[in-house]
Structure 1
Amino acid sequence: MRDQDPITVQTVAGDDTFLVTSHLGRSGSDELVVCFGYQGTGIAPTGFGIDFLTQRGYDAVYVANRWKSSYQGLSAGMLADVLAPLVQGHKVFTYGSSLGGYCALYYAGVLSARALALSPRNVLCPRDPEAFDPAAHPEWTHKLHLTDVPQSPHRPTIVFDNMHPRDSSFVRTWALPAYPDAREVHVPLSGHHTGPRLHAMGKLKGLVLAMLRDEALPDRINGFPEGSAQLATVAFREAMSGGDPVQARAAAFGIAGAGASSTVLKHIWKFAMAHKDLELCQQLVNAAGSAQHGGDLKATGILRAGRKMGLTPTV
């Protein structure tokens, strides 16, 4: 950790839709990290990432937006103008999660920044830009495509759940056309909450600091403990997509024995039935019969199907 400095907090710009606030140490740092609030945070002088960064000696800027405005009141050009005096002489990063991750990518170009975007998404962003009617959606003021705003000379880092259909689609259709060389870090089964999942595992801090220090980043981070049902589920899905039923079966046994949800058990049951695997079926019946799933409809369905095969819980 760098030596801590007294922090000077100043309002840089703002109106009724956004607020830009600087958090600068007395001696300054070579890096400036521009952080963006996620949906629901509202207008405030500090928020996502600021304490973490300033406590470690990094200069930072917090960009807040009015709740549900999705930063539509702040164009890329406006942010570039208000931050011009601050970014000069700095190595600039943009950082955010969810809506903030969208912003980290959207504004990176005008700031020539290195973006770190966690699960980027903007719920107002049109799903089908080609059919977008501006008259019907006057609240949307940003460019429709990321390719329509200036591109940063630095490849961004996008951290997301590659198994999450909506987030994967947003990365694929919105972010990657502008940055085909983007560095992807996958956190399977973290859902849209990649940042909180990594934080819960104590892995977010190392990822952010590695980014700021230009250190190598992994292509994948496990967001769940070893031996967990979630990691076994990841292994099962990857084995299935790779056409490897042997590895899929091994992972399925791990799922059955690791306290998986009844939804996952039901999915694995279909695999076991398709392969006429009585040993795996017995393990799934045992799992469905545990106290964890008492009264659950999916678990009850597995138990009912098991009884028709002569299988009852043995543990």
Structure 2
Amino acid sequence: MKNLFRYSFLMLAISAMLFTGCKDDSSDEAPAVNPSKVLMDHLVAIDMDLNHVIKNTDGQKFVMGAPADGNVSGKHVIDIRSTDAYNAGHIEGAVNVALPNILTEAASATKPILVVCYTGQTACYATSLLRLYGYHDAQALKWGMSGWNASTDSWSTQTDNLADGHDNWSYNATPPTPSVYDIPEFMTTAITGEAILKERVEYVLAQGFKTAKAGDVLNSPSNYYINNYFSTTDYGAFGHIDGAYRLHELLINPSSSSVSSMTNLDPSKDIITYCYTGQTSAVITAYLNVLGYDAYSLTFGMNKLFNSEDSWTVNQWGGDSNSKNLDIVQ
């Protein structure tokens, strides 16, 4: 009995020591750092917040219109359309590359990159990722091949007026006040901001262009976190999807830390951004996906929602914007 008592006491003492040791060890451990915060802070440090993806430090926008003379010889043109579409007609000198392989092709470029697609939207998504990857002077062809030549026009069949008279289309000029949320989290094998950025761009590119259909979002806006990318005036004059936030200034003009400008986005919902043409929203959507949000670009933007609205001044397909008659080759 005495030996049993001694054994029991010894085991209790050892258990207490082990418990105390584990508790002390865990209290000394530094809390894990959210890789999304590391990435956001890195983007601030290298001056690559969203505002410098939309317009680089040299003032060059992410998109360029087709030149009047069709001369893009100063660009490394990457056409990301299907092989069949490319063979039917493309810009002279353009290289046909599938979207997932664009980084490989970019590495061989000796001139600034110009990405070309059907409507400009997928090209803008790719351009955002290229700029984040280090190709800061990469651009997309505005309106894609639709703006280059009427024979390659994919835009004209896509304009619509889905919002005209719709119950979920609002003219309230005051956007709702956004709440504050935690930033998203994602898994990564990288540690430094530079390595995380590289890994995230490659991952997002491999997922393909993430889009949402205008009709789906318009019919059920409460299912999404909607970000409207109009000017202040157009938010009320054009109208907007009911409940849409307007985070223009927060997203492209962050303060000292980009984390502070992203906390108004709800990471638990699909984040839908829409603009006039689906091109700027594509850039924003790519950026948000790199940061860890589940983000989507509403395809064709206002031109799909309400192309005939009277307030248009620029970027209306079939109004101020149409196909040119520039040369294509087969």
TM-score, structure 1 as length reference: 0.22
Larger of the two Rg values belongs to structure = 2
Larger strand share, 1 or 2: 1
Structure with more contact order per residue of length (Cα contacts < 8 Å, sep ≥ 6): 2
